[in-house]
Amino acid sequence: MTLVFCLFTGLEMIVSDFQCYQNNVQHHTEEISFQRLIVRRGQNFSIILYFKNRGFMLDMDKIIFITETADEVYLESEPQRQEYVMNDHGFIYQGNKNWIRPCPWNYGQFEENIINICLKLLDKSLNSQVDPAMDCALRGSSVYISRVVSAMINSNDDNGVLNGKWSEGFDDGTSPSEWNGSVAILKKWYATGGQPVKYGQCWVFAAVMCTVMRCLGIPTRVITNFDSGHDTDGNLIIDEYFDNTGRILENKKKDTVWNFHVWNECWMSRKDLPPGYGGWQLLDATPQETSNGVYCCGPASVRAIKEGEVELKYDTAFAFSMVNADCVSWLVYGGKEQKLHRYTNSVGNFISTKSIQSDDRDDITENYKYQEGSPMERERYMKALQKLQPRGYPEHPRASSQPAGPLSTRGGGPLGHNSPTPPQAVSLKLKLTQPAYLGLDINFVLQTFNLAPQFKALKVNLSAQSMLHDGSPLNVFWQDTAFITLMPSEAKTLPCIIPYSQYSEFLSPDKQIRISALGEEKNSSERFLIDKIITLELPSIVINVLGEAIVGQLLTMQVIFQNPLWEEVGDCVLTVEGSGLFKKQYKIIIGILKPQSKASVTIKTVPFKSGQRQIQANLKSDRFKDIKGYRNVNVSPGL
């Protein structure tokens, strides 16, 4: 915002009073500061001017007061403004589409010094370093600011906030799963003179971007897409390769399907696009691919993504592939590749965000695409594909307008090069028989059903391997082979067990396991591939608040946690934080926890802000990094 005073008739102004306290309260920025004027777009504010030589005379003096503000990000709904600008805590959804877990997060956009850190982040951007005058002139544009912030949250092109790391080993920093909030990350970046903080992954990038954008007054929310496509060559096809045991192989193209991926949506008008494409815009700070030579993504209109308008700015084609690419599976054997199946509905599921003023989850998949299998969805896919072909991407026509088949979490069945899916002869399905908890054996069954009128003899290769949440495969640690005979219309169930002792040493920090089954008929070339992603569950931390929470008065809480393993764990550290409740992260060294043991600690703090607050807690050890818990607390104003 720019303020200009034009004085006439010889008036001499000596001081201006910006009425910081009154204005900031009216503009809901009092939690940031009372020491300077911080106002929001599209709302009146008052100032007082004092003159040196004489008083102001209405009949002869004239003052012109000019303010220049942009109103590109105005939300009419007050509940939406409260959620997407004012709320300083929330949930980020993780896990997999069969087990969606809310992860509590402290955004803390109004915490001490965060506004200064956000402004410093803009000053350190590549744009500001190259042409500071132009950068300053463009800061009134929400499109421009969002692209700058998207680039600065990661450190790939500059000294941005976070170093990303998706492989194992975080000993020289903090494991992404350990973070509870953005405040500690931003303050660490600022305190070290802008050195990138180690480490982040997609949900951390998105959460920190949410903090910065809400602090700057731009309505922002965090979005999780389960089974998220990463299409590296822009043909709207994700190719996955398997060996004859069903093990997923390292992808030569680097295409992957992330078990979940997290990005942001920001609300803004888009005067640079045709009418109707304003509103929620996708922005992704995770450094996946470059945009105009820089690792950032968006803003891409969510409506443009749904409608297949992939030529519209910015990065809409890449965003479309994350939610609606096709997935083709290939069997690799003897130096050859055989196409197994083309899935038209496996990418982009249960797209989720926190509900407005509620702890519930909202499913917003319909904002991004029409219902899978519907003519409208197929039309938008073909429209997007045709728009991309002139760019030099290879033509890859849709295989079928029919669903891939009801075989399991992703189905399974044979498919020719461009032929429609034939009727399924055998149905295979993997199913857990009880919840999968870290530290316990994994019990599941392979269900088989002969849909054909002929006898079937099957050989089924089963395997299990650890996965990173970005879809990267790790070691296979369990294999088995089953020979199953099925009479016409006969069903059989094969019980399977993976002992904890067999998977414990192979787990990734994401605690995700992919179980697969590759079936083949005797005397036939037909093969059936199915898989199931399992995220091992952990017990939650329990937080009990003892007594009423009042600003300025001592508040006591009890934090209860458990070692879920049948073995001793060491290097245990409990981290607790919460905006308005703790001035900084509260860390307690626990040390050793005996097998299956419970423990508790008592923590005292003095709340310094009223209203709805949230306590976030995390327990890490040398065997796990992210046992989490939270507790909402309503803090009453002090006397």
Same domain for 481 and 370: no
Catalytic residue among 27, 28, 230, 261: 261
pLDDT digits (tens, 9 = 90+) for 235-248: 999 998 988 888 88
CATH number of the domain bearing residue 465:
2.60.40.10
Q: Where are the alpha helices (DSSP H) in 140-283?
A: 142-153, 183-191, 202-215
Same domain for 555 and 531: no
* pLDDT computed for residue 182 by the predictor: 98
* pLDDT computed for residue 58 by the predictor: 74
* Residue 409, domain member (yes or no): no
* pLDDT computed for residue 421 by the predictor: 46
- Specify the DSSP element, H or E, that contains 94: strand 89-96
Catalytic status, residue 28: no
* pLDDT computed for residue 547 by the predictor: 94
Same domain for 177 and 61: no
Ranges of the chain whose pLDDT falls below 70: 1-11, 34, 42, 65-70, 252-253, 390-424
Same domain for 560 and 523: no
Same domain for 329 and 304: yes
* pLDDT computed for residue 418 by the predictor: 37
* Residue 459, domain member (yes or no): yes
* pLDDT computed for residue 396 by the predictor: 41
Burial group, residue 360, by CB count within 10 angstroms (0-12, 13-18, 19+): exposed
Cβ atoms of 530 and 544 within 8 Å: the answer is: no
Domain that holds residue 480: 426-535
Please identify which residue in the block is written with the tokens 């530290």: 439
* Residue 569, domain member (yes or no): yes
Contacts for 59 with CB less than 8 Å, ≥ 6 apart: none
Last residue in a domain, options 504, 535, 566:
535
Last residue in a domain, options 511, 535, 559:
535
Same domain for 504 and 588: no
Could you give the number of structural domains in the chain?
A: 4
Angle between helices 316-324 and 375-388 (to 10 degrees): 140
* pLDDT computed for residue 610 by the predictor: 94
CATH number of the domain bearing residue 96:
3.90.260.10
Find out whether the peptide bond into 199 is cis, omega within 30 degrees of 0.
yes
Tokens of 67: 């303010």
Distance from first CA to last CA of the chain, Å, rounded?
Answer: 36
Between CA 214 and CA 218, with CA 216 as vertex, the angle to 5 degrees is 55
Helix/strand/coil for 95 = strand
Cβ atoms of 200 and 164 within 8 Å: the answer is: yes
Residue set of the binding site: 324, 326, 372, 377
For residues 630 and 619, what is the distance between their CA atoms, to the nearest angstrom?
12
Sign of CA dihedral 382, 388, 392, 393: negative
Same domain for 462 and 446: yes
* Residue 487, domain member (yes or no): yes
Query: How many of the other CB atoms lie within 10 Å of CB of 11?
Result: 19
Q: Give residue 465's identity as a one-letter amino acid code.
A: Q
* pLDDT computed for residue 276 by the predictor: 96
* pLDDT computed for residue 528 by the predictor: 85
Catalytic residue among 135, 239, 284, 470: 284
Same domain for 563 and 519: no
**pTM score, two decimals?**
0.88
* pLDDT computed for residue 582 by the predictor: 96
Contacts for 541 with CB less than 8 Å, ≥ 6 apart: 559, 560, 561, 617, 618, 619, 627, 628, 629
Same domain for 241 and 181: yes
Please identify which residue in the block is written with the tokens 């494409």: 277
Same domain for 141 and 175: yes
Cβ atoms of 101 and 535 within 8 Å: the answer is: yes
Helix/strand/coil for 143 = helix
Eight-state DSSP code of residue 401:
S
* pLDDT computed for residue 187 by the predictor: 97
Same domain for 226 and 99: yes
Helix/strand/coil for 352 = strand
* Residue 601, domain member (yes or no): yes
Catalytic status, residue 469: no
Same domain for 443 and 384: no
Tokens of 53: 């030589």
Catalytic status, residue 417: no
* Residue 417, domain member (yes or no): no
* pLDDT computed for residue 28 by the predictor: 76
* Residue 399, domain member (yes or no): no
For residues 189 and 158, what is the distance between their CA atoms, to the nearest angstrom?
13
pLDDT digits (tens, 9 = 90+) for 503-561: 999 998 889 999 999 999 888 878 888 999 999 999 999 999 999 999 999 999 999 99
Cβ atoms of 302 and 280 within 8 Å: the answer is: yes
For residues 55 and 490, what is the distance between their CA atoms, to the nearest angstrom?
98
Last residue in a domain, options 481, 514, 535:
535
* Residue 481, domain member (yes or no): yes
Angle between helices 183-191 and 202-215 (to 10 degrees): 80
Residue set of the binding site for Ca(2+): 324, 326, 372, 377
* pLDDT computed for residue 19 by the predictor: 79
Catalytic residue among 20, 202, 266, 572: 202
* pLDDT computed for residue 404 by the predictor: 31
- Specify the DSSP element, H or E, that contains 81: helix 78-81
* pLDDT computed for residue 403 by the predictor: 30
Tokens of 56: 């102001």
